[in-house]
Structure 1
Amino acid sequence: MNNNNQNNFNSQMPPQYYQYAYEQQQYMIYRAKVLSERKKQKRELLLVGIALGTTLIAYLLLQTISVGMLSMLGLKDAYESSPLMQYAFNVVAVHLFSMLVPFSLLAVILKKNFVAPLVPTKKVSGLKAAAWVSLGMAFCLLANIMTSAIMNISKNLFGYELSQSEYDGPQDIITCVMIVISTAIIPAIIEEFSLRCCTLGVLKKYGNGFAVFVVSIIFGLMHGNVIQFVFAFTLGIMLAYITIKTNNIFIPMLIHGLNNGMSVLKTIIEFAANEKAGETVTGILFYIWGVLGIAALIYLASTKSFKFEKKPKNPYDNSFGTKVLCVLPGLALPFAILLYLTSQYVTKV
């Protein structure tokens, strides 16, 4: 077709044709950009998953190195026979050295991922803070009940008993103080900073729901066996949710500390009195937290505290499932380690 005929053909086309052709072209450009950005996000998440998995492996490896140093220094026998030394080791080697260091490095390496301050410290009213703490503690009770149910099913239905390692009980007042510090205070501070500040901060860029889910998986994997994974994952969901809803890390820290403090209190009462007294006191506290949790649920619901601000869907964002699948390959080795460690505590009934 010569130029005259081409011009004549174009002049006969209706204006709607050109509008349609233009819209189709713009759509194809937009579609290509969406696919490109989603592909870019998948690559990012794959690297984030590898970084998270590496951090977990570093956490476990540093603990192994710490235990090895005990043997090298000839302190292993003293460690095994001294509850005070065991609890001190938990503070220095497990939390300050093995956990705080790698998770802080994670936050530094992936600092570009942060869309908010590392440590959320928004002011929350006293009544609302108390309600969140009460609800969190009630949720801890539910997580305990669920974990106990899983253990009973494993024992009664499948014939396998799942156990977990425990430290020796206190021998004196100094050990009691160290138990409080090493079990209730330090873990609440270091674990919440590592998980709900460093890790959650890295993940929130990809969506709050996704961040809550993945950081709870990390929290579960940190605890070393299936029993504690179930409990920590369940509790982690609530702690991460509260962190995002309140934008305040001190509330989850308090919940975490009070939850751990329940077992500490039972241990100390058993040392000071007897096992029955410890079970009685903690049983009463369970009921109190349950009632307070129900009241908190009603109060928070009535004040619309659970409501999330609706945000328009980002077309460049992958689906929740796709994002999780992108992160999981990096966590494959930590999951394998979890299964191996669990196998060391499984016994035939």
Structure 2
Amino acid sequence: MPEFSVPFEPAKVEKNTIRKFYNIGGFTALFQFAGSNIFAMLLMIGITAILRAVNPDASTGAVSHYMTKGAIFVAINMLTFLTANVLFAFIGLKWAKIKPSSLIKTRDYHFSDAVTHCLAGLFIWVTAAYISSGIEDIVSQYGFTTDVMDDDYGKTGLGLAIMTIYTCFIAPVTEELFFRGALMKIFSKSNQRFGIVASAVFFGLAHGNLPQFMLAFLIGVFMGHIDMKHNSIIPSVVVHIFINTMVTVMSEFNDNEVVMGLISLGLIIMGIIGFVLLLVFRKGCRLPVSTPAQSRRGIAIAKTSIGIILAFSVQLIYLVLLILTTKK
């Protein structure tokens, strides 16, 4: 309003208030990271103990092989992140005094928007996938690998069913609830652009390897953008489900050259359409632009937030250690 103005430099009281929310977001991300790892470890220990008790003659290697090659490890992964994402999303929202219902009050969102976002998101995913492959090639030249997951785990009927349900439905909903819902909402208190980028950074770090970080970060910025536009996590949930489903379908036909050729052709066509739609979308709706005053309330304060510094440092160190300790 004409009679009001925002000072370029925030006063001490305002800085402390903004820093409080950045700390809430940072510690929420840190607790989710620590909680998911602790919960997974406890589940692994508990289930291993049960299997050893039921099969006292089985060796440690046999028990481990049974867990990783069957459905157990996949189920642990699903339960871990389902619990951690939902639990800490609601803890963070409660801590920041944000109503969960505010995450789904969708504004001006139609079927045509969903199609545009999905195809534009697919183009970003394809582009990011090529970048990720380049990063993997560079790292592999030094004798390391960024692939920290066994591609052959859970190759049973039940394992594939659980993995499909988790990848295509549970992960998109719970990850969007946590990253674009809780984190972005908390980080956007004074600077929307910072909220989008910061939540995308933590989304990338959560994937646990360098190529996946780049892929998740780029698509995370886009999904944060569309959620900010429509004031809801529904748009990013739809895009996330679409992309994860496409990746799951492709992974099932890796060994079929004919089918993969058709899928690749379809990806090229949809990618070109997605590129055009992305340009149209960005022309009509750019990322939120920070005013000079808002810029002084974004990264300038965030870099003094203990919560953000700890969460970022711990997850970055974890990612680096995984690469350094995983040889080809």
TM-score after normalising by structure 1: 0.76
- Correspondent of 2:119 among 128, 134, 145: 134
Q: What's the counterpart of residue 20 of structure 1?
A: none
Q: What's the counterpart of residue 136 of structure 2?
A: 151
- The answer (yes or no) to whether the contact 2:8–2:292 under 8 Å persists in 1 is no
Q: What's the counterpart of residue 249 of structure 1?
A: 233
- The answer (yes or no) to whether the contact 2:200–2:217 under 8 Å persists in 1 is yes
Q: What's the counterpart of residue 56 of structure 2?
A: none
- Correspondent of 1:305 among 281, 285, 295: 285
Partners of 1:213 and 1:32 lie apart in 2 by 22
Partners of 1:141 and 1:247 lie apart in 2 by 26
1:117 partner SS: helix
Structure 1 unaligned runs (5+)? 1-29
Matches within 5 A, 1:193-212: 193-212=177-196
Partners of 2:320 and 2:73 lie apart in 1 by 25
Cα displacement string for residues 180-222 of structure 1 (whole angstroms, at most 9, x for unaligned residues):
2122211111111111112112222131111111111211221
- Correspondent of 2:206 among 222, 230, 254: 222
Cα distance, 1:288 vs structure 2:
2.5
Change (3 A) 1:258 1:227: same
1:326 partner SS: coil
Partners of 1:171 and 1:48 lie apart in 2 by 37
- Correspondent of 1:97 among 83, 88, 95: 83
Q: What's the counterpart of residue 81 of structure 1?
A: 69
Q: What's the counterpart of residue 320 of structure 1?
A: 298
Partners of 1:321 and 1:225 lie apart in 2 by 24
Cα distance, 1:164 vs structure 2:
2.6
Partners of 2:8 and 2:299 lie apart in 1 by 21
1:235 aligned partner, one-letter code: I
Change (3 A) 1:278 1:151: farther
Partners of 1:52 and 1:105 lie apart in 2 by 11
1:285 partner SS: helix
| Percent sequence identity over aligned pairs | 16
1:107 is the counterpart of 2:88 = no
2:15 aligned partner, one-letter code: R
2:15 partner SS: helix
Matches within 5 A, 1:56-75: 56-74=33-51
- The answer (yes or no) to whether the contact 2:68–2:154 under 8 Å persists in 1 is no
- Correspondent of 1:333 among 294, 314, 323: 314
Cα displacement string for residues 216-261 of structure 1 (whole angstroms, at most 9, x for unaligned residues):
1211221122232222222211111121122232221122122222
Partners of 1:149 and 1:343 lie apart in 2 by 18
2:296 partner SS: coil
- The answer (yes or no) to whether the contact 2:201–2:217 under 8 Å persists in 1 is yes
With 64-73 and 139-148 compared, the bigger mean Cα shift is at 64-73
2:51 partner SS: coil
TM-score after normalising by structure 2: 0.81
Change (3 A) 1:176 1:312: closer
Partners of 2:128 and 2:112 lie apart in 1 by 24
Partners of 2:201 and 2:8 lie apart in 1 by 33
Structure 2 unaligned runs (5+)? 1-6, 53-62
Pair member with larger Rg = 1
Cα displacement string for residues 41-91 of structure 1 (whole angstroms, at most 9, x for unaligned residues):
335534542343233222222222222222122275432231x33333332
With 246-255 and 143-152 compared, the bigger mean Cα shift is at 246-255
Cα distance, 1:177 vs structure 2:
3.7
Partners of 2:77 and 2:172 lie apart in 1 by 13
- Correspondent of 1:296 among 258, 277, 299: 277
- Correspondent of 1:184 among 168, 173, 183: 168
Partners of 2:26 and 2:8 lie apart in 1 by 27
RMSD (Å) for aligned C-alpha atoms: 3.1
Count, aligned residues: 308
- The answer (yes or no) to whether the contact 1:87–1:179 under 8 Å persists in 2 is yes
Partners of 1:170 and 1:31 lie apart in 2 by 55
